[in-house]
Amino acid sequence: MNVRLGEGNTPLVPSVTTPGVWFKLESCNPSGSYKDRFVAGEIERMLAIGAKACVATSSGNTGSALAAGAARYGLRSSIVVNEFAPAGKLAQMQAHGARVIRVPGFTVDAALTREVMETLALLAQEEGLPLVVSAYRYCPVGMARVERLGEEVVAALPGARIFVPVGGGGLATAVVRGVAGRAAVTAVQPAGCDTVVTTLASGAGVRPVTSTTRISGLAVPFDIDAGQAVEELRNSGGMAITVEDDEVFEAQRVMLRDEGIYAEPAGAAAFAGALKQLRHGHSAVPRPMVCLVTGHGFKDPDSIAGRISTSEERVDASRLRVVLLGTERVL
Protein backbone atom coordinates (compact mmCIF):
# COMPACT_ATOMS: atom_id res chain seq x y z
CA MET A 1 0.00 0.00 0.00
CA ASN A 2 1.20 3.49 -0.83
CA VAL A 3 1.16 5.26 2.55
CA ARG A 4 0.50 8.98 2.36
CA LEU A 5 0.62 11.15 5.44
CA GLY A 6 1.01 14.43 3.55
CA GLU A 7 4.75 14.43 4.20
CA GLY A 8 7.49 16.00 2.10
CA ASN A 9 7.73 18.74 -0.52
CA THR A 10 8.16 21.21 2.31
CA PRO A 11 8.69 24.94 1.66
CA LEU A 12 12.15 26.40 1.09
CA VAL A 13 12.20 30.09 2.02
CA PRO A 14 15.01 32.65 1.93
CA SER A 15 16.19 34.23 5.16
CA VAL A 16 15.28 37.88 5.57
CA THR A 17 18.11 38.52 8.04
CA THR A 18 21.02 36.66 6.52
CA PRO A 19 21.68 36.88 2.77
CA GLY A 20 22.50 33.57 1.14
CA VAL A 21 20.71 31.54 3.83
CA TRP A 22 17.55 29.50 3.15
CA PHE A 23 15.26 27.62 5.50
CA LYS A 24 13.82 24.23 4.56
CA LEU A 25 10.65 24.13 6.65
CA GLU A 26 10.41 20.50 7.67
CA SER A 27 8.28 21.84 10.52
CA CYS A 28 5.50 22.01 7.88
CA ASN A 29 5.21 18.23 7.73
CA PRO A 30 1.85 17.05 9.14
CA SER A 31 3.02 16.21 12.66
CA GLY A 32 5.48 19.12 12.65
CA SER A 33 8.81 17.41 11.98
CA TYR A 34 10.78 15.60 9.27
CA LYS A 35 9.99 12.32 11.06
CA ASP A 36 6.76 12.04 9.08
CA ARG A 37 8.91 11.08 6.09
CA PHE A 38 10.46 8.26 8.13
CA VAL A 39 7.14 7.09 9.55
CA ALA A 40 5.51 6.94 6.10
CA GLY A 41 8.15 4.39 5.06
CA GLU A 42 7.87 2.43 8.31
CA ILE A 43 4.08 2.19 8.13
CA GLU A 44 4.34 0.95 4.56
CA ARG A 45 6.74 -1.72 5.80
CA MET A 46 4.43 -2.69 8.68
CA LEU A 47 1.36 -2.95 6.47
CA ALA A 48 3.31 -5.08 3.99
CA ILE A 49 4.07 -7.66 6.71
CA GLY A 50 0.56 -7.52 8.18
CA ALA A 51 1.62 -5.99 11.52
CA LYS A 52 -1.15 -4.70 13.76
CA ALA A 53 1.02 -3.09 16.46
CA CYS A 54 4.55 -1.80 17.00
CA VAL A 55 6.93 -0.64 19.72
CA ALA A 56 9.11 2.42 19.35
CA THR A 57 11.64 4.59 21.13
CA SER A 58 11.55 8.33 20.77
CA SER A 59 12.92 11.59 22.12
CA GLY A 60 9.55 12.99 21.03
CA ASN A 61 9.24 13.63 17.31
CA THR A 62 9.37 10.03 16.09
CA GLY A 63 6.68 9.25 18.66
CA SER A 64 4.38 12.05 17.55
CA ALA A 65 4.79 11.17 13.87
CA LEU A 66 4.32 7.46 14.55
CA ALA A 67 1.26 8.00 16.75
CA ALA A 68 -0.37 10.05 14.00
CA GLY A 69 0.51 7.61 11.22
CA ALA A 70 -0.53 4.59 13.30
CA ALA A 71 -3.89 6.22 14.06
CA ARG A 72 -4.45 6.86 10.35
CA TYR A 73 -3.65 3.28 9.32
CA GLY A 74 -5.28 1.45 12.25
CA LEU A 75 -2.11 0.28 14.02
CA ARG A 76 -1.45 0.25 17.78
CA SER A 77 1.75 1.86 19.00
CA SER A 78 3.62 1.75 22.31
CA ILE A 79 6.29 4.41 22.58
CA VAL A 80 9.17 4.43 25.08
CA VAL A 81 10.31 7.96 25.92
CA ASN A 82 12.82 9.50 28.32
CA GLU A 83 12.23 11.97 31.16
CA PHE A 84 12.74 15.01 28.94
CA ALA A 85 10.26 14.49 26.11
CA PRO A 86 8.62 17.94 25.78
CA ALA A 87 4.95 18.47 26.64
CA GLY A 88 3.82 19.25 23.10
CA LYS A 89 5.28 16.03 21.69
CA LEU A 90 3.77 13.91 24.48
CA ALA A 91 0.40 15.59 23.95
CA GLN A 92 0.56 14.67 20.26
CA MET A 93 1.34 11.03 21.02
CA GLN A 94 -1.48 10.77 23.55
CA ALA A 95 -3.98 12.66 21.42
CA HIS A 96 -3.46 10.15 18.61
CA GLY A 97 -4.01 7.26 21.04
CA ALA A 98 -0.49 5.90 21.44
CA ARG A 99 0.58 4.21 24.65
CA VAL A 100 3.41 6.32 26.14
CA ILE A 101 5.87 4.69 28.53
CA ARG A 102 8.46 6.84 30.28
CA VAL A 103 11.70 5.13 31.34
CA PRO A 104 13.86 7.19 33.74
CA GLY A 105 17.51 7.28 32.65
CA PHE A 106 16.73 6.24 29.08
CA THR A 107 19.10 7.99 26.60
CA VAL A 108 21.03 9.49 29.53
CA ASP A 109 22.70 6.49 31.13
CA ALA A 110 24.54 4.51 28.45
CA ALA A 111 24.27 1.11 30.20
CA LEU A 112 20.59 1.53 31.02
CA THR A 113 19.89 2.67 27.46
CA ARG A 114 21.62 -0.40 26.07
CA GLU A 115 19.53 -2.58 28.41
CA VAL A 116 16.30 -0.93 27.21
CA MET A 117 17.26 -1.34 23.56
CA GLU A 118 18.20 -5.00 24.09
CA THR A 119 14.92 -5.67 25.91
CA LEU A 120 12.92 -4.06 23.11
CA ALA A 121 14.88 -5.80 20.34
CA LEU A 122 14.35 -9.20 22.00
CA LEU A 123 10.67 -8.55 22.64
CA ALA A 124 10.20 -7.38 19.05
CA GLN A 125 11.87 -10.54 17.77
CA GLU A 126 9.97 -12.93 20.05
CA GLU A 127 6.57 -11.33 19.46
CA GLY A 128 7.09 -10.49 15.78
CA LEU A 129 6.52 -6.79 16.56
CA PRO A 130 8.14 -4.09 14.43
CA LEU A 131 10.60 -2.00 16.48
CA VAL A 132 10.51 1.58 15.26
CA VAL A 133 13.64 3.67 15.91
CA SER A 134 14.50 6.49 13.53
CA ALA A 135 17.93 5.20 12.59
CA TYR A 136 19.41 3.13 9.76
CA ARG A 137 20.70 0.67 12.34
CA TYR A 138 17.14 -0.36 13.16
CA CYS A 139 14.87 0.89 10.39
CA PRO A 140 16.62 1.35 7.01
CA VAL A 141 13.32 1.28 5.09
CA GLY A 142 11.89 4.31 6.87
CA MET A 143 15.23 6.16 6.81
CA ALA A 144 15.50 5.70 3.03
CA ARG A 145 12.36 7.87 2.77
CA VAL A 146 14.19 10.69 4.58
CA GLU A 147 16.74 10.76 1.72
CA ARG A 148 14.11 12.57 -0.37
CA LEU A 149 14.68 15.60 1.84
CA GLY A 150 18.17 15.94 0.38
CA GLU A 151 16.82 15.35 -3.13
CA GLU A 152 14.26 18.13 -2.70
CA VAL A 153 16.94 20.61 -1.63
CA VAL A 154 19.28 19.89 -4.55
CA ALA A 155 16.40 19.99 -7.03
CA ALA A 156 15.65 23.56 -5.85
CA LEU A 157 19.17 24.79 -5.05
CA PRO A 158 21.83 22.66 -6.73
CA GLY A 159 25.27 23.01 -5.16
CA ALA A 160 23.95 24.28 -1.83
CA ARG A 161 25.62 23.67 1.52
CA ILE A 162 23.05 22.00 3.78
CA PHE A 163 23.29 22.43 7.54
CA VAL A 164 21.83 19.41 9.34
CA PRO A 165 21.14 19.11 13.09
CA VAL A 166 22.58 15.88 14.47
CA GLY A 167 21.46 13.67 17.33
CA GLY A 168 21.89 9.97 16.55
CA GLY A 169 23.21 10.70 13.06
CA GLY A 170 20.47 9.12 10.93
CA LEU A 171 19.20 12.38 9.49
CA ALA A 172 22.69 13.51 8.43
CA THR A 173 23.30 10.09 6.85
CA ALA A 174 20.02 10.36 4.93
CA VAL A 175 20.72 13.87 3.68
CA VAL A 176 24.23 12.98 2.46
CA ARG A 177 22.80 9.96 0.64
CA GLY A 178 19.93 11.99 -0.79
CA VAL A 179 22.09 14.73 -2.25
CA ALA A 180 24.47 12.14 -3.74
CA GLY A 181 27.34 14.57 -4.28
CA ARG A 182 25.14 17.38 -5.66
CA ALA A 183 25.38 19.47 -2.46
CA ALA A 184 27.71 19.71 0.51
CA VAL A 185 26.60 18.77 4.02
CA THR A 186 27.63 20.29 7.34
CA ALA A 187 26.52 18.33 10.39
CA VAL A 188 25.73 20.56 13.38
CA GLN A 189 25.89 19.01 16.83
CA PRO A 190 25.55 20.47 20.33
CA ALA A 191 28.97 20.81 21.98
CA GLY A 192 27.45 18.92 24.93
CA CYS A 193 26.85 15.80 22.81
CA ASP A 194 29.47 15.79 20.08
CA THR A 195 29.80 12.13 19.05
CA VAL A 196 29.95 12.79 15.29
CA VAL A 197 32.13 15.90 15.46
CA THR A 198 34.85 14.31 17.62
CA THR A 199 34.83 11.07 15.66
CA LEU A 200 35.16 12.86 12.31
CA ALA A 201 38.04 14.92 13.69
CA SER A 202 39.86 12.08 15.46
CA GLY A 203 39.43 9.27 12.98
CA ALA A 204 38.86 6.84 15.88
CA GLY A 205 35.66 4.88 16.53
CA VAL A 206 32.58 6.48 18.10
CA ARG A 207 32.91 6.81 21.86
CA PRO A 208 29.85 7.32 24.09
CA VAL A 209 29.80 10.74 25.77
CA THR A 210 27.99 12.06 28.83
CA SER A 211 25.46 14.37 27.27
CA THR A 212 25.01 17.81 28.81
CA THR A 213 22.97 19.43 26.04
CA ARG A 214 19.45 20.66 26.78
CA ILE A 215 18.40 20.45 23.12
CA SER A 216 15.61 17.88 22.97
CA GLY A 217 16.13 15.44 20.10
CA LEU A 218 19.88 16.01 19.80
CA ALA A 219 20.92 14.34 23.07
CA VAL A 220 21.97 10.92 21.78
CA PRO A 221 25.21 10.18 23.66
CA PHE A 222 26.08 6.81 22.05
CA ASP A 223 26.49 5.34 18.59
CA ILE A 224 23.18 4.68 16.88
CA ASP A 225 23.97 6.03 13.42
CA ALA A 226 26.91 8.26 14.42
CA GLY A 227 29.51 5.90 12.89
CA GLN A 228 27.48 5.71 9.71
CA ALA A 229 27.12 9.51 9.56
CA VAL A 230 30.86 9.98 10.01
CA GLU A 231 31.58 7.56 7.16
CA GLU A 232 29.10 9.30 4.84
CA LEU A 233 30.44 12.75 5.74
CA ARG A 234 34.04 11.63 5.27
CA ASN A 235 33.38 10.00 1.90
CA SER A 236 31.46 13.02 0.61
CA GLY A 237 33.84 15.73 1.86
CA GLY A 238 31.27 16.88 4.43
CA MET A 239 31.98 18.80 7.61
CA ALA A 240 30.84 18.60 11.23
CA ILE A 241 30.79 21.48 13.70
CA THR A 242 29.60 22.04 17.25
CA VAL A 243 27.40 24.80 18.60
CA GLU A 244 26.81 25.75 22.21
CA ASP A 245 23.24 25.43 23.52
CA ASP A 246 23.12 29.20 23.99
CA GLU A 247 23.98 29.70 20.31
CA VAL A 248 21.05 27.46 19.43
CA PHE A 249 18.69 29.40 21.69
CA GLU A 250 19.93 32.67 20.19
CA ALA A 251 19.34 31.33 16.64
CA GLN A 252 15.87 30.21 17.75
CA ARG A 253 15.23 33.74 19.06
CA VAL A 254 16.31 35.34 15.75
CA MET A 255 14.07 32.92 13.86
CA LEU A 256 11.12 33.81 16.10
CA ARG A 257 11.64 37.55 16.24
CA ASP A 258 13.11 38.41 12.84
CA GLU A 259 12.31 35.52 10.49
CA GLY A 260 8.78 34.68 11.66
CA ILE A 261 9.68 31.01 11.91
CA TYR A 262 8.40 29.08 14.92
CA ALA A 263 10.92 26.31 15.57
CA GLU A 264 11.78 24.07 18.48
CA PRO A 265 15.44 24.35 19.59
CA ALA A 266 16.61 21.34 17.51
CA GLY A 267 14.96 23.02 14.54
CA ALA A 268 17.13 26.09 15.09
CA ALA A 269 20.44 24.25 15.52
CA ALA A 270 21.25 24.22 11.79
CA PHE A 271 20.80 27.99 11.61
CA ALA A 272 23.04 28.35 14.68
CA GLY A 273 25.68 26.38 12.76
CA ALA A 274 25.32 28.52 9.63
CA LEU A 275 25.57 31.74 11.65
CA LYS A 276 28.68 30.42 13.36
CA GLN A 277 30.30 29.61 10.01
CA LEU A 278 29.46 33.08 8.74
CA ARG A 279 30.92 34.68 11.87
CA HIS A 280 34.09 32.71 11.31
CA GLY A 281 34.50 34.22 7.86
CA HIS A 282 33.03 31.52 5.67
CA SER A 283 30.63 34.00 4.06
CA ALA A 284 32.74 34.18 0.91
CA VAL A 285 31.64 30.65 0.02
CA PRO A 286 29.56 31.30 -3.10
CA ARG A 287 26.86 28.76 -2.45
CA PRO A 288 23.45 29.00 -0.84
CA MET A 289 23.35 27.80 2.76
CA VAL A 290 20.26 25.73 3.53
CA CYS A 291 19.26 25.24 7.17
CA LEU A 292 16.94 22.35 7.95
CA VAL A 293 14.20 23.51 10.31
CA THR A 294 13.51 20.00 11.48
CA GLY A 295 10.84 20.54 14.17
CA HIS A 296 8.01 22.96 14.96
CA GLY A 297 7.90 25.36 17.91
CA PHE A 298 4.42 24.16 18.91
CA LYS A 299 6.06 20.95 20.08
CA ASP A 300 8.09 22.55 22.83
CA PRO A 301 6.35 25.70 24.10
CA ASP A 302 8.44 25.76 27.29
CA SER A 303 11.61 26.18 25.23
CA ILE A 304 10.14 29.41 23.93
CA ALA A 305 8.23 30.82 26.91
CA GLY A 306 11.11 30.13 29.27
CA ARG A 307 13.71 32.02 27.31
CA ILE A 308 12.01 34.69 25.29
CA SER A 309 10.32 37.54 27.08
CA THR A 310 6.65 37.64 26.29
CA SER A 311 4.18 40.14 27.62
CA GLU A 312 0.44 40.30 27.56
CA GLU A 313 -1.62 43.37 28.27
CA ARG A 314 -5.17 43.25 29.57
CA VAL A 315 -7.55 46.16 29.06
CA ASP A 316 -11.26 46.84 29.23
CA ALA A 317 -12.90 47.25 25.82
CA SER A 318 -13.76 50.86 26.64
CA ARG A 319 -10.06 51.76 27.02
CA LEU A 320 -8.82 49.79 23.97
CA ARG A 321 -8.49 52.80 21.64
CA VAL A 322 -6.59 54.90 24.13
CA VAL A 323 -4.27 52.03 25.11
CA LEU A 324 -3.53 51.13 21.47
CA LEU A 325 -2.65 54.67 20.50
CA GLY A 326 -0.88 55.31 23.80
CA THR A 327 0.87 58.53 24.67
CA GLU A 328 3.66 57.92 22.15
CA ARG A 329 1.31 56.99 19.33
CA VAL A 330 3.00 53.73 18.38
CA LEU A 331 0.38 52.79 15.78
Which residues of this chain interact with ligand PLP, rule CB under 6 A? 33, 59, 61, 134, 165-172, 217-218, 220, 266-267, 294-295
Q: Which is nearer to ligand PLP, 24 or 45 (CB)?
A: 24
User: Residue 169 CB, nearest distance to ligand PLP (Å)?
Assistant: 5
The least distance separating ligand PLP from the CB of residue 170, rounded to whole angstroms, comes to 3
N-terminal to C-terminal alpha carbon distance within the chain? 55
Smallest distance from ligand PLP to CB 74, Å: 25
Which is nearer to ligand PLP, 144 or 309 (by Cβ)? Answer: 144
Cβ 173 to ligand PLP shortest distance, Å: 8
For residue 109, count CB atoms less than 10 angstroms from its CB and return exposed for 0-12, middle for 13-18, buried for 19 or more. middle
Q: What are phi and psi of 317, to 5 degrees?
A: -55, -35
Least Å distance, CB 288 to ligand PLP, is 21
The Cβ-side half-sphere exposure at 299, using a 13 Å CA radius, reads: 34
- Listed in sequence order, the residues at least 6 apart from 88 whose beta carbon sits closer than 8 Å to its beta carbon are 298, 299, 300, 301
Is the Cβ of residue 86 or residue 288 nearer to ligand PLP in the bound state? 86
- Comparing CB distances to ligand PLP, the nearer of 11 and 19 is 11
Query: Closer CB to ligand PLP, residue 15 or residue 59?
Result: 59
User: What is the DSSP code string of 199-265?
Assistant: HHHH-S-----------TT----S-SSHHHHHHHHHHHT-EEEEE-HHHHHHHHHHIIIII---B-H
Cα 182 off chain centre by: 22
